[in-house]
Amino acid sequence: MTTTGTLEIDLEDFAARHREAYLIDVREPGEYLAGHVPGAALLPLGELASRAGELPRDRTIHVICASGNRSLRATRALLDAGYDARSVAGGTSAWARSGRETVTGLRPA
């Protein structure tokens, strides 16, 4: 896996494996509803600490937000808690700018 530093995964590398990836979106519900990466489950940053137990410990957790700032904060917190996590560089904005599909509404897929 190509990463930028140890916290991020490059958008192209993520895109190549995103269908199999465990992906959480740490934006607020309104942002998520407006458009998110297919397969991303909503887990707002403010709820991460209380809901981290819902996340798998046996696979890499990919974390995305709008631009990469909140996802980096979430990734650091997950790594500190013993999870294997990577922030998707550039976030949902970069994903959409690259012409990739986004979906609206509550459904992750």
Residue 92 counted as domain residue: yes
- CATH number of 80's domain: 3.40.250.10
pLDDT of 74-89, one tens digit each? Answer: 999 999 999 999 999 9
Show the beta-strand stretches assigned E in the chain: 3-4, 8-9, 22-25, 41-42, 61-64, 85-88
Which pair of structure tokens corresponds to residue 35? 């458009």
DSSP state of 7: T
- Point out the residues that are catalytic: 65
80: containing domain:
3-97
Residue 59 counted as domain residue: yes
Residue 87 counted as domain residue: yes
- Domain count of the fold of the chain: 1
Span 50-64, average pLDDT:
97
Whole-number pLDDT of residue 106: 82
